[in-house]
Amino acid sequence: MPGPILVLNAGSSSIKCALFGAHFREMLRVEATGIGARGAVKVSGAAPRALSLPDNAAALRAVADALAAEGAALDRLALVAHRVVHGGDEFTAPARITDKVRAGIEACIPLASLHNPHHLAAIDWIAQAAPSLPQVASFDTAFHATVPEVARRYALPDLPATRGLRRYGFHGNSYAALTRALPEMTGAPLPARLLALHLGNGASLCAIREGKSVATTMGYSPLGGLTMGTRVGVIDPGAVLELVSRVGLPQADQILSAQSGLLGLSGFSGDMRELAAGDTPRAAFARDHFAYWAARQAGSMFAAMGGCDAIAFTGGIGENDADIRTRITDLLRWAGDLPVHVVPAAEEAHIAMQAAQLTGIDTADA
């Protein structure tokens, strides 16, 4: 009888995981935060426990210890499935991790230098701690492999220096989970032309036609598209070049990725909940900016689909901030009276299902 499936999302400052048992029922969540400093480990249903987490290896050990304490030691698992941000052109579906697949993930580090190294560190740690435990990678870029070339390519010359500079798209596991969940929620087929909004600290839109991505707002990196928690979103390349000339590349990168978005506009927070409670003109403007650019870029998604039949929100903001949802849908009233759905994020469960299907593991009795 197989054991449970662990879904692992390893980042630079946190490691999150969810454990799934029979019929992909979530059994447990464990999160290690504050990596690189005095951090904490939180197990679902319990208060965070302060712990020194100097690096990712320490955080992974802490997560494994927390799982073992709950009866889910690594040697009792059926497999580990990893959320991997970037799969480049090679990985357009989940893949069982082999030496070749690992090398492919490593080759994508230049495309996701803030993400893929941490995914690899977790993959390598699991391989060393439990060598016989199967591992699967599920790629955020894979869902957008169906985007047509005219929507993927930047208007750049075909030169060695421009190789790989194109739109990839992200949040793919979230969108794939949404397309699975929405018909189950409504009891009706997936709308033929669906505008999906993944709104959280990272945010993007996706035009989903006949269940496939045909356009998305994020591009070469997760930095572009909508106004986000700390990321700039849409910006003229000329403005980026000017910023680099003023402050240099490292500081420009820090400004665009970690000091902009809602944080930059409000001056005090990139958290939409804090902005809603802040009651200052700058906080109000940040919320206005977020909704305006989501609605404005939604128009381009409508064009990519040739119209729209329904709208679906997911992600922390998409699910929980009714005011933001209303602002966005009010700005889209010109498109007609469209059904609006709120779909709880379930990308971890989706990743677990993909991994089970790929490896042939039957979780009915897990």
Annotated binding site for ATP: 16, 198-202, 271-273, 316-320
Q: Kindly give the interhelix angle for 281-305 and 322-331, rounded to the nearest 10 degrees.
A: 50
* CA of residue 13 relative to chain centroid, distance: 15
Closest CA to 139 of 178, 182, 105: 105
Annotated binding site: 9, 16, 83, 198-202, 271-273, 316-320
Annotated binding site for Mg(2+): 9
d(CA 274, CA 348): 26
| Residues 6 or more apart in contact with residue 8 via CB below 8 angstroms | 15, 16, 17, 80, 81, 82, 83, 122, 126
d(CA 28, CA 232): 34
Q: Which residues pair with 37 in a beta bridge?
A: 53
**Tokens coding 141:** 């870029």
Annotated binding site for substrate: 83
- Do β-strands 37-43 and 26-33 pair in parallel, antiparallel, or remain unpaired? antiparallel
Catalytic residues, which ones? Answer: 140
d(CA 73, CA 70): 8
Closest CA to 351 of 190, 142, 145, 200: 142
Angle at the Cα of 111 (from 110 to 113), degrees rounded to 5?
A: 60
d(CA 364, CA 366): 6
Residue with tokens 């977790």: 122
